[in-house]
Amino acid sequence: MLERCRSDLSAALRSLSRFPSLVVGPVLTLAVSGGLNVAVFGLMDRALLSPPAQVAEPARVFGGLVVVQVAMSVILLVDSVRCD
């Protein structure tokens, strides 16, 4: 069985080496989508979930932001419970 998998893998690699354009599209799509996912998550984490670093009492300055953070936490909690 291992020999069959190895021969299938080598045949697939030979086939892909003949048509490299079939590899470039999916690889670029995965790379760009992964990078965008990380960037958007980083922005959303910094904007909505993390308090400002320079402010000593963020709840006092950004009262509405605390409400948004609590709402997001509740949404994430409900979503995680629903998925389990």
pLDDT of residue 52: 66
pLDDT at 38 exceeding the cut of 80:
yes
pLDDT at 84 exceeding the cut of 80:
no
Type of residue at 73: S
Mean pLDDT over the full length of the chain: 76
Question: Is the pTM of the predicted complex or chain greater than 0.85?
Answer: no
- Residues 70, 51: contact at Cβ < 8 Å? no
- Residues 43, 63: contact at Cβ < 8 Å? no
Percent of the chain exceeding pLDDT 70 equals: 62
pLDDT at 58 exceeding the cut of 70:
no
